[in-house]
Amino acid sequence: MKRVPIIAGNWKMNKTLDKAVEFVNVIKDQLPSPDQCRVMIAAQPLFLADMIRAAANSPLQIFAENCYYHDFGAFTGEVSPLSLADMGVDGTILGHSERRKIFHESDELINKKVLAALRNNLSPLLCCDETMGRKVAGNEVHWVVSRILTDLRDVPREDLSKITIAYEPSWAIGSGQSADPVQAEEGCYLIRQTIADMYDDEAAQQMSVLYGGSVNAENASKLMASEDIDGCLIGGNSLKPETFMQLVNS
């Protein structure tokens, strides 16, 4: 099944407002049509409104880097999914390994965030790492990605098309050492198999699965040549327009 490639940049806690808007203005007229490649940038909430205005009438999708699971309330410092949607944000990254490790986010919390994002018509870009297990059903053994089972709990099948999953081996993030295409393909295949186990084969084939972790212009094409890798989630190499566009064009 043909799935549209995706290149997603995650700026993390980088850039200032003027540099963020300048980046959008540089790349927005160079992007392919959305039926050839979907291009996303996730940035700090401080920048999102101005980035959305700068990206108007272009194919660029603007994502948040995180959100909370309540729309309103006494949650100082958190970001409301309702407010993001009202602003015009397209989606949000959820479950990034830095959120899991530094801020101790559990799969149960991430599941609540996924459901909140969907409730507000935000597209979740859900991250998971190499934590894997096996499920025995009768005489068959299926590999599963254990995080996905909890992160997608209670997600209706009809909402799966709004979700993108990114496989990010924790040892590859920010290390400069990417998984080789065989390792990356295995991880993305296992995610797709998990979706098939949870839902069905058709849902699994429709799901977009990305690889993330030290992706650069040299390895992106090799990674994306794999059958189950539909694109890349990019950190440091998404910060410069020229480097990012090399990855888009790959």
HEC sequence for 105-172: CCHHHHHHHHHHHHHCCCEEEEEECCCCEEEEECCEEEEECHHHHHHCCCCCHHHHHHCEEEECCHHH
Q: Minimum mean pLDDT among 128-132, 230-234, 245-249: which range? A: 128-132
Q: Is 142 a catalytic residue?
A: no
% of the chain at pLDDT higher than 70: 90
Q: What is the rounded distance in angstroms from the CA atom of residue 156 to the CA atom of residue 55?
A: 31
Q: How confident is the model at residue 180 (pLDDT cuts 50, 70, 90)?
A: confident
- CA Rg value for the chain: 17
pLDDT at 185 over 60: yes
Which residue among 65, 96, 105, 130 is the active-site one?
A: 96
Is 104 labeled as catalytic in the residue annotation?
A: no
Report yes or no: 144 and 193 within 8 Å, Cβ to Cβ: yes
In the predicted model, is pLDDT for residue 141 greater than 90?
no
pLDDT of 174? 55
Which is more confident, 160 or 1?
160
Domain boundaries, the chain: 6-249
Give yes or no for a contact between 152 and 192, defined as CB atoms under 8 angstroms apart.
no
Helix (H) or strand (E) holding 8: strand 6-10
The pLDDT mean for the chain works out to 91
41 has pLDDT over 70:
yes
Residue 170's pLDDT band (cuts 50, 70, 90): low
Three-class secondary structure of residue 37 per DSSP: coil
Mean pLDDT of 33-37: 96
How does residue 219 score in pLDDT terms, banded at 50, 70 and 90?
A: confident
The catalytic position among 98, 105, 130, 168 is 168
Question: Which of 71, 140, 63, 122 lies closest to 96 in space, CA to CA?
Answer: 63
pLDDT digits (tens, 9 = 90+) for 2-33: 799 999 999 999 999 999 999 999 999 999 99
Task: Give the least confident one: 72-81, 156-165, 208-217, 226-235.
Answer: 208-217
**pLDDT(175) > 70:** no
Taking residues 218-230, what's their average pLDDT? 90
Q: How many CB atoms lie within 10 A of CB 131?
A: 12
- What 3 state SS string does 67-98 have? CCCCCCCCCCCCCCHHHHHHHCCCEEEECCHH
Q: Which CATH number applies to 6-249: 3.20.20.70, 1.10.540.10, 3.40.50.300, 3.30.565.10?
A: 3.20.20.70
pLDDT for residue 142 is more than 70:
no
Q: Are 127 and 88 in contact (CB under 8 A)?
A: no
CA distances in angstroms from 58 to 9, 68, 86, 116, 221, listed in the order given: 16, 28, 19, 27, 24
Using alpha carbons, list the distances in angstroms from residue 183 to 12, 165, 191, 225.
25, 16, 13, 13
Determine the average pLDDT of the residues in 139-153: 79
